[in-house]
Amino acid sequence: MKKLKDYSKEELEALNYDDIAYLILEEKKKKMKISDLFKNVCGLLELSEEAYSDLIADFFEMLTTDKRFIQLTDGYWDLKTKHSEKVIIEDDEDEFDEIIEDSEEELDEEKDDYYDEEADDDSEDDLKDLVVIDDEDEEN
* Domains, in order of start, for the chain: 4-82 (1.10.10.1250)
C-alpha of 132 from chain center: 58
Looking at residue 71, what DSSP letter applies?
E
Residue 36's pLDDT is 93
Q: What percent of the chain has pLDDT over 90?
A: 26
Question: Could you read off the pLDDT of 76-90 as tens digits, one per residue?
Answer: 998 888 877 666 666
Residue 110's pLDDT is 56
**Given strand 76-79, what is the order of strands in its sheet?**
32-33, 76-79, 69-71
Rounded distance, CA 31 to CA 55, Å?
21
Q: Does residue 60 carry a pLDDT above 70?
A: yes
